[in-house]
Chain A
């Protein structure tokens, strides 16, 4: 099978637009979690989220006019706009531009989303209920369909290779990168634009996850303290929005054109819990097996992994189950590996999480710095043997990193990225 390189990266997250801004703020210990002001939260138990900051493009804000003309924006829900913004950055960063039809047909797009156009579905439902079906926009369906993120990117750039989308809840972003890497490994494409996007911070989204009792509700007055993975005071996750997109490329193809190579995608593992629709299996067996498969595919032993970007959503159960699975799989190496949850900074980006966190993992390799787990002041007893990088980033040689994503439905994905040399 062919080897797969990462040659471009793009991010739009609650920490800001752009990979550079994200990394500076992430390792600087900043939080992107704020009070929700975009819609009425007075009757919602959770009033905070990791939200994209809009503006004129300065100071890491996202200038929507830079991404899509205002007339076109009504044809796409937030998750598509975020995907386009991150894809623009990743593709420009990679320097890849198909020279002819053959190139274009070997360049594909695989961007997933956990939920898709929930704000549009929320609005559309109100329109039907109050004004009747004739007032529903003809753009309602294409603006909310999950695969339209991939569709818009392919249309904008003329990429005619595989055009696909993943929908596996909070594992989406990791599955998208893993599946796209396989398409390259198997020769279906030479280049794949892959990742995850989510824009579900709306009344329906917050109300829905709150109804499932998944969200933090105790920190509405102190939003930056709400996402606190592994901490004894954690009480649920904080929703986030944004997108992470990478350009994956056949290693030889990348070398031939002299592309800059950030890392290699060497491992990918997938598994199912076969247990419960929202809760992880108590013994962490699903996550254990996806990590084990990813390491096996990578041909790496646990002691060769220096950093784990955990799923670590800040829910009471999930964090300790994942940590337990890591300690069982890593054995003695769990004393030396560093594991942090960057959801402590940006919240849980659902379908975008796995892709954003894969990029953070690659950046940890590139910079030899591991990002912190914010707000981790009193770790739960069961995780105390692990280096969870509390409160502050730290310098550390990172040769390879593992990134976990686990989703509702008991779907698990793990990626291993490795330094290229």
Chain B
């Protein structure tokens, strides 16, 4: 697992208070991990802070799963 993926998963576990085993790459924040719309806003802020990137609202709307987040951050840091 890449370093980015590991850090993304840690943030998700920490912010949503879910078991690490549930945070699979295909897990949807809202459908699988119990997040609501405000939780997802906060998650995106946490990703921005952790990785020093800026995620626009348009981009944030498309980040629905753990994998979406990892892919987006990788593309920004690539």
Contact = CB atoms under 8 A, between A and B. Distances in A.
> Do A and B share a complex?
yes
Interface of A: 69-72, 75, 134-135, 137-139, 142
A135 B45 contact: yes
Interface in B36-66: 38, 41-42, 45, 48-49, 54
A72 B36 CA distance: 12
Contacts of A72: 17
Interface string B3-31: 00000000000011100000000000000
Nearest to B42: A138
Main secondary structure of the interface of A (DSSP, over half): helix
Contact of A137 (B17, B45, B48, B54): B45
10 contacts: A71-B16, A71-B17, A134-B45, A135-B49, A137-B45, A138-B38, A138-B41, A138-B42, A139-B38, A139-B42
Contacts of B54: 134
Interface residues on B, range: 10 to 19
Nearest to A139: B38
A137 B16 CA distance: 14
Given A134-B45, A135-B45, A137-B45, A142 B15 contact: no
A69 B54 CA distance: 30
A24 B17 CA distance: 38
B21 to A, nearest CB: 17
A69 B42 CA distance: 17
Contact of B15 (A69, A71, A135): A71
B19 to A, nearest CB: 12
B39 to A, nearest CB: 8
Given A135-B49, A138-B42, A139-B42, 16 more contacts: A69-B17, A70-B17, A71-B15, A71-B16, A71-B17, A72-B17, A75-B38, A134-B45, A134-B48, A134-B54, A137-B42, A137-B45, A138-B38, A138-B41, A139-B38, A142-B38
Contacts of A135: 45, 49
Contacts of A138: 38, 41-42, 45
Nearest to A136: B45
The 9 closest A-B pairs by CB, nearest first: A71-B17, A138-B41, A138-B38, A138-B42, A139-B38, A137-B42, A69-B17, A135-B45, A139-B42
Nearest to B43: A138
Contacts of A134: 45, 48, 54
A75 B16 CA distance: 12
B9 to A, nearest CB: 16
A125 to B, nearest CB: 17
Contacts of A70: 17
A137 B42 CA distance: 6
A138 B48 CA distance: 14
Contacts of A69: 17
A400 to B, nearest CB: 47
A61 B54 CA distance: 42
Nearest to B54: A134
A118 B64 CA distance: 33
A370 B48 CA distance: 57
B36 to A, nearest CB: 10
A65 to B, nearest CB: 12
B34 to A, nearest CB: 10
A382 to B, nearest CB: 54
A363 B41 CA distance: 46
A142 B38 CA distance: 10
A128 to B, nearest CB: 13
A155 to B, nearest CB: 12
Contacts of B42: 137-139
Contacts of B15: 71
A117 B21 CA distance: 35
Nearest to B48: A134
A172 B48 CA distance: 41
